[in-house]
Amino acid sequence: MINLKLTNKRNYFINNTQIFYEKNSEKRINFLKNNQFFYNEISKILKTIIDDTNSNFFFCCGNSTILNQFNNNEIFVQEINDNILEELDINFNKVNESQINFDNFKNVIIADIEHQLNPLDNLKNLSNKISDDCKIILISKSLLWSSLIKLIKIFFKGKFTSEYNYLPFDYIKNLIDVSNFEIIKNEKGIVLPFNIPIITTIVNRIFRLPILNFFCMMNFTVIKKKNVNDKNHYKKKISVIIPCKNEEKNIQIIKDNFYKLGDKTEFIFGDDKSTDNTIGEIKKIKINDDDIEIKTYEGPGICKSENVYKGIENATGDIILIYDADCTVSFKDVETSLKTLSETNADFVNCTRMIYPQQKNAMKSLNFLGNIFFAKMFSLFFNKKITDTLCGTKIFYKKDWGKLKKSFEISNIKDLWGDFDLLISAYKNNLKIIEVPVNYYDRIEGETKMTSVLKNGLRMLLITIKSFYRLRIDY
């Protein structure tokens, strides 16, 4: 059900814009109907960016047909002219502004920024209303197309409002920066706004590729609040997931490094069908601290990722911390990474071993080169700087686990290690990913499980390429 927000728009929209839509609502409705393909394209791209099962709020200005692809139970919208929804045969309820609590929305879509009287004040006010987890999606035009459309509007006076904000994406970035928000990601789309069978579909997807996307008309910018409420991890329960397979000699080393990481800490060992005495060593661990709990579970014996995911399902903490049993990352660096998550607005910490000098035998040469290759590819494809895609130490909030696992296997190729699943799903769900450098030490006991480098590398390559196509090209 669509809920139309009733509010005083006089202080929200540019006055001439409001007058234009009052006088020309019928013309605008005909324009929307004649150009439905363009707005459907916007709606389809938008649907790949946000989860339409969430409660979403749309700020619109004569373009509420972008709601067409959304089928969730509850949508809230503000339109410049209520007649637009009525004439488009969209069923809606009218809701007073006092009945709306912005703290409940997971996503707020701003599709009217060109027509707002004061976009900066509106963004600042919105920052005070929404929750820390809420994402805002700003829909705007590129500099190239903004300039072209500005010229078109000069020659077609009367068809469009004469006054509007000139806010191409480069200008919007400045607006975001000074209004307590920062950019999480930016997607581009649509070169041909009209439908030429087959051709438009192919062209609009090809031009979403890196470099070529410079020519796209629309930007979909996901932003998040910079300053958030205190997330002190010392007040939270931390679940440390430790996947193990034939690591009996490393268990005592892990145990000797145990200490409380939060208000309470649970260390959850997943023994993945070990053929040595790993489970016996785990059972020997005794901790004289009521705030530290040792748990075990039997891994499925399929691959590391399935073992880790089972551990996360069993976790009862507020924060999930994945830690490999090879002890190649120190607990001191792990705690630093945990602090970084709680002291910033980050949603997901990806630790990186590629910044600090590594010990001589910590990573094999072929693994090192492969990691650099995939980090570069991931950074290019997903427009997010990542230096280490394969570090096993990752930290995120348990509340995000449901949507992360829902997005697994976007590529329909099983990720045996889980690193790509988690990173790509975090990107898909608009989580803010940050990297924290850690020292990488030689393995003291046992052998690395990352063998068959070429075979694993090919699988990771296919996962990355197919995920890139599904998330950033297709829609």
Q: CATH number of the domain at 2-225, please?
A: 3.40.50.150
Mean pLDDT of 247-262: 88
Q: What is the pLDDT of residues 325-351, one digit of tens each?
A: 998 999 999 999 999 999 999 999 999
Given a cut of 70, whether residue 161 has pLDDT beyond it is no
Instruction: Copy the structure tokens of residue 420.
Output: 């790509």
Given a cut of 80, whether residue 449 has pLDDT beyond it is no
Smallest Cα–Cα separation from 193: which of 142, 128, 253? 142
Distance (Å) of CA 316 to CA 236, 380, 398:
11, 36, 8
User: Percent of the chain beyond pLDDT 70?
Assistant: 95
Placement of tokens 């005909």 in the chain:
30
Q: What does pTM read for this prediction?
A: 0.91
* Ranges of each domain in the chain: 2-225, 233-468
Confidence of residue 360 (pLDDT cuts 50, 70, 90): confident
- Residues 438, 393: contact at Cβ < 8 Å? yes
48 vs 50: CA distance, rounded Å: 6
Question: Residue 381 is inside which H or E element, if any?
Answer: helix 365-382
Q: How many CB atoms lie within 10 A of CB 32?
A: 18
The DSSP secondary structure of 180-234, one letter per residue, reads TEEEEEEEEE-S--S--TTHHHHHHHHTTSTTGGGG-SEEEEEEEESS-----GG
Smallest Cα–Cα separation from 335: which of 444, 418, 262? 262
395 vs 411: CA distance, rounded Å: 23
The predicted pLDDT at position 11 comes to: 82
Q: What is the pLDDT of residues 20-68, one digit of tens each?
A: 888 887 888 888 888 899 999 999 999 999 976 678 999 999 898 898 8
Average pLDDT, the chain: 90
Mean pLDDT of 385-397: 96
- Residues 50, 138: contact at Cβ < 8 Å? no
The predicted pLDDT at position 157 comes to: 61
221 vs 136: CA distance, rounded Å: 8
* Identity of residue 122: N
Smallest Cα–Cα separation from 227: which of 182, 173, 180, 185? 180
Smallest Cα–Cα separation from 322: which of 394, 403, 223? 394
Given a cut of 60, whether residue 91 has pLDDT beyond it is yes
* Identity of residue 182: E
The predicted pLDDT at position 348 comes to: 98
Q: What is the pLDDT of residues 181-205, one digit of tens each?
A: 999 999 999 999 999 999 999 999 9
Fold agreement between 2-225 and 233-468: no
CATH architecture of the domain with residue range 233-468: Alpha-Beta Complex (3.90)
Given a cut of 70, whether residue 450 has pLDDT beyond it is no
Dihedral of alpha carbons 334, 335, 338, 340, sign: negative
- Residues 123, 165: contact at Cβ < 8 Å? no
- Residues 359, 280: contact at Cβ < 8 Å? no
